[in-house]
């Protein structure tokens, strides 16, 4: 069996180092900006440098582990361990100088995410979870809010890069917004999930997310007491995520169903 404490220590170290790189490179953040899936889906030299820092370190420390990174890093591995890396979640925020961006690292063992680390460097917050052992922020235990009434709940969401999909999601929002206290769109799913975990949001939903967007944050939220499901109530999966306090999660999913929300 792998030494999970050792894996967690490495994940924390890499997330912190990459987070510091993001802060250090912020003055040059507009350099070498490209696009990926659409004109609004941006990638920067800093995204790539952050991923390289993490992947290079893993190649030295854990050369036989698998890796899946947002910016193209992929290695199958032979140990049953896979590192799922988002080197800069919230690239648009980063480019505009909005301090809502993170480094997200999850460790999957035999197909199940066992460790999650999300570093929010702008505010010096480090969220960590280990399956079955709860979640922390800067070493202190965190729990979801005690919200039971959906009508007074603060809900987070996000939007896809594809224009047609954005239009659909706007229609979902039109149905959800009148039924809750308010809605926030911070622009980094990993941070949204951690905010549910520590009670800053009562719930969060989004479709079309990739594995690196949710792997760490969903575990952190779950370990903090959140109900984490797909739009259809099944197991949470990258393209379909609903995370909320247990009392309001069924109602939030019901609103999404009424709005015709579908996963990608």
Three-state SS at 180: coil
Q: Which domains does the chain have, with CATH numbers?
A: 4-141 (3.30.540.10), 150-258 (3.40.190.80)
Q: Where are the beta strands (DSSP E) in the chain?
A: 34-35, 42-43, 66-69, 74-75, 81-89, 102-109, 112-120, 125-130, 135-137, 140-141, 154-157, 182-184, 203-207, 227-229, 240-244
pTM metric for this prediction: 0.93
Question: What is the tens place of the pLDDT at every residue in 13-56?
Answer: 999 999 999 999 886 666 555 554 445 444 677 888 899 999 99
Distance CA 208, CA 126 (A): 25
Question: What is the tens place of the pLDDT at every residue in 63-93?
Answer: 999 999 887 678 889 999 999 999 999 988 9
How far are the Cα atoms of 197, 204, 252 from residue 223, in angstroms, in the given order? 8, 16, 20
- pLDDT confidence bin for 161, thresholds 50/70/90: confident
Distance CA 201, CA 163 (A): 27
Nearest to 211 by CA among 231, 234, 186, 189: 189
> Which pair of tokens denotes residue 68?
């899946």
Do residues 201 and 192 make contact, with C-beta atoms less than 8 angstroms apart?
yes
């Amino acid at each position: 069996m792998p030494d999970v404490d050792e894996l967690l220590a490495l994940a924390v170290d890499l997330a912190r180092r990459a987070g510091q790189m993001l802060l250090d490179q912020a003055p040059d953040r507009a350099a070498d900006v490209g696009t990926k899936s659409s004109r609004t889906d941006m990638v920067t030299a800093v995204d790539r440098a952050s991923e390289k820092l993490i992947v290079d370190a893993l190649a030295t420390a854990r050369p036989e582990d698998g890796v899946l990174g947002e910016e193209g890093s992929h290695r199958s591995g032979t140990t049953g361990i896979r590192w799922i890396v988002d080197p800069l979640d919230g690239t648009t925020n980063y480019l505009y100088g909005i301090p809502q961006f993170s480094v997200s690292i999850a460790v999957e063992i035999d197909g199940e995410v066992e460790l999650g680390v999300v570093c929010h460097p702008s505010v010096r917050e480090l969220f960590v979870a280990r399956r079955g052992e709860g979640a922390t922020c800067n070493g202190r235990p965190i729990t979801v809010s005690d919200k039971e009434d959906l009508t007074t709940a603060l809900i987070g969401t996000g939007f896809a890069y594809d224009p047609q999909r954005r239009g659909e999601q706007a229609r979902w929002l039109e149905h959800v917004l009148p039924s809750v206290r308010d809605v926030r769109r911070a622009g980094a799913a990993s941070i949204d999930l951690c905010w549910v975990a520590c009670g800053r949001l009562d719930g969060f939903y989004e479709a079309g997310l990739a594995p690196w967007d949710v792997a760490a944050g969903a575990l952190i939220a779950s370990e903090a007491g959140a109900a984490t499901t797909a739009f259809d109530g099944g197991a949470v999966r990258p393209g379909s995520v609903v995370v909320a306090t247990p009392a309001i999660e069924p109602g939030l999913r019901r609103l999404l169903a009424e709005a015709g929300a579908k996963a990608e």
